[in-house]
Structures are given as C-alpha cells and as structure tokens.
Structure 1
Amino acid sequence: MSAPLFTRTDTALGEFSLRPVDPPADAELLHGWVTHPKAVFWLMQDCDLPAVEKEFTRIAADPFHDAYLGMHNGTPAFLAERYDPAHRELVGIHAARPGDVGMHFLSAPTDAPVHGFTLAVITTVMEMLFDDPATRRIVVEPDARNTAVHALNKAVGFEVQRTVSLPSKDAYLSTCTRDQFLAARGEN
C-alpha cells in the first residue's frame, strides 16, 4: 500500500489520512461500501465486484479524476474523489473557473456511528484539497434528496448555487471557496 498523501489530526477523533485507491487491492472493501444501502447516493448499488474494480481502475487511469481511500487511526473508513469539473461530471453544466476542483466523499457504513465523524471526514477532504495552493474553489453536486450531506456541506462553507439536472439525478450545484471554508471553521 502507498504512503498517505495527506494526514490531519482531529483533536476529538484522532488521525485521518488519505492515500490513492489501489483498485485490485481495495476493490473488495470498496464494493462493500458503495453497494451498501446507506450508500444509495453513490449510485453503485447494483455493481458487482468486477464492476467496482473496473470503475476504480478507470478513475486511476483518468488524468482528470482521482480516488482516495481514507483512513481513521489506521483503519479504512472513507472514500474521497477529486475531479476536474472542466473535464468531468459538470461539463456543459458548470462554468468551471481556474482553480475549481470537484469532490465526492463517502463515509464507510457502520453499525456504531461516532458523533462528529462524518463532519471530520469532509473537513479532512476539504483540507486535503485546499492544501494544494492551486485550489481556489471546491465544487460539489450532491443529489437534491440527500439532506444529510446538504447539512454537512453547509457546515464546512458550501453555498448552493442552483439545482441542476444530471443524467442520474437532480443535484444542488454548490461551491466553497477557501475563505468560505475558513470562515465556517471560525478561522477567517
């Protein structure tokens, strides 16, 4: 397995880190996550193991899309994706600016949820993306029905721009600048 690309310590929950997804090694784990009923908005419910490995192999080969396995205190706990909205997901829908970065994240399903965990996950992903000085704004397009993620997005500074129709969903196109993220964290 590769070394972490980014690590963040949460004072309440411990260490969070991200490394690139290794499709052959991680496919079985990710298959369990993306096909779980709690991951309905990930849109991979009907995928078998080979389809999941194929999808993450495709992402690994795509110069405009990356997938990361997130660890919590050394244990796999979440998935994150970074994409270039000028080339993927939002082409023709969002007028991407230089420095725009698209993002998806998924916390692993659990029977023992920890208070504040998903907020710590999205905060870690945002910090990783903003750690790159070229990143000026993060763009997301969550399903309009996903009320839980809308609350998380708002908590880290996202502002809904408008509702857009994508091939698989109606989504809230939302953006968050570095300043909005820092203000939401009380650092601006």
Structure 2
Amino acid sequence: MTARSALGTWTFEPLPVDGTTPLGDATLVQLHAWVTAPRSVFWQMQGATTEDVRAEHATIAADPCHHAWLGHLDGRPLVLAETYDPRERVLAGHWDAEAGDVGMHLLVAPPEPGAPPVPGLTSTAVAAVVRLALAQPGARRVVVEPDEQNTAVRAKNRAAGFVEHGLLALPGKTAVLSTCTREAFERSELGGLVR
C-alpha cells in the first residue's frame, strides 16, 4: 500500500522474516531496537533477543490470519504494523468480532539519538496504518486493544475515530477494546492526514 501525507509518501510492505528473504541482519537489529526500547514496553518484548524477534515474526509470517508490515516514509523505515483477524487471533475467545473486523497493532520507531522530533509523525503514522488496515480485503471496521495504561496511544486512537467500548482482560494486560469504522475514520481529526 502507498499513501501520501504532508510529511511524505508512506509505503507498506510485508515484513520478510525467514532466511530466504531480505530481512537482513540490519533490519532485524533495527526491529529488535524498536520493540525493546523503553517506550515500547506495551509490546511486551522487553528483554527479547534478536532471535526472539526473528522467531516472533517468522510465526506471524507463517500465519494466514496475522500479518506484519514494515512502513517507510519516503523510503525510511519508521513503522512496524500488524494486521490480524480478531475472530482467529488475539481477541479470539475474548470478544465476539464480526466479519470484516481487522485487528491492528502499531509501533512508531523511537527517534534516533540526538535527532529532533518530527512534528506530526505519530499522528500521520497512525492515520497511515488505519488506512492500511482498512485496505485489507473485506475490511469494514478496525479493532485495537491497547493496554489501559497506554494513555498516549488511546488518545491517538480516539483522534483517529476509534470508540472505546470498555476493558477486556487479555493475556499480559487489561486492554481497552476500541473500534473504528471507515466512516468514523474519514470524519476524524486524523482522517485527512494521509490519502
């Protein structure tokens, strides 16, 4: 998927993870740094090794109901995203998802040491990943389940049109189940950031 924003062009490609694809050591090291950074604590991979990260994404790559994506802004990798079928993964057995629901996870890369923050980057990244989720075949609604303590992500989700439906006990966290229709996203504060 490709989308344009005031910050540049976003492109998303499936994350290649096995030994026969060009994940490469540099990308693996980069992903490892992203998911183990202190600000990424809600990804529950603190203390993971690079092999743990490779194994996690190899499992996702082999799963027809779960997909990992690497998002680039003007060619620079900045986002790790996941889409999944909530009837089969993550929420299965915890919440009754409907046909057309697409689960979404998003991680924006931590800033490089000494680099100034890019105003609007996180908001634009959220908008781009919601568009990616809505571009999945049959998508009608996007579902997220952030940790209840992750107030920054919850605020971004609400700005993207997500409605919070209450708390849900999931392995390792108490989540806030939230959904967003295509129409709610288009009307939202973030809906016009990426086309």
Aligned partner of 1:149 among 145, 150, 153: 153
Q: Partner amino acid for 2:8? A: G
- Unpaired runs of at least 5, structure 2: 18-22
Counterpart for residue 167 of structure 1: 171
In the alignment, which of 12, 21, 37 is matched to residue 18 of structure 1?
12
**Superposed displacement of residue 20, structure 1:** 0.8
Q: Name the CA distance, whole Å, in 2 between partners of 1:177 and 1:91.
A: 20
Aligned match of 1:38: 39
- Residue 64, structure 1, aligned to residue 68, structure 2: no
Q: TM-score, structure 2 length as denominator?
A: 0.89
* 1:72-99, Cα deviation, whole Å (9 max, x unpaired): 1101111000000000000111111010
Q: Hey, what does 2:105 align to over in structure 1?
A: 104
Deviating 4+ runs (over 6 angstroms): none
**Counterpart of 1:28?**
29
Partner of 1:76: 77
Deviation readout 1:62-81 (Å, 9 max, x if unpaired): 01100000101101111000
Identity of aligned residues (%): 46
- Using CA pairs below 8 Å that are at least 6 residues apart, which structure has the higher relative contact order? 2
Alignment length, in residue pairs? 181
Q: Distance in 2 between matches of 1:27 and 1:132?
A: 25
Q: Which segment is superposed worse, 29-38 or 106-115?
A: 106-115
Note the alpha carbon deviations across 1:4-58, whole angstroms, 9 max, x for none: xx11110x20111110111242322110100011111111111001010000000
Paired letter, 1:16: W
Which residue of structure 2 lines up, in the alignment, with residue 7 of structure 1?
A: 2
The alignment yields a C-alpha RMSD, in angstroms, of 1.4
1:126 aligned to 2:121?
A: no
Structure 1: which 5+ runs fail to align? 1-5
CA shift for structure 1 position 179: 1.1
What's the counterpart of residue 54 of structure 2? 53
TM-fit CA distance, 1:132: 3.6
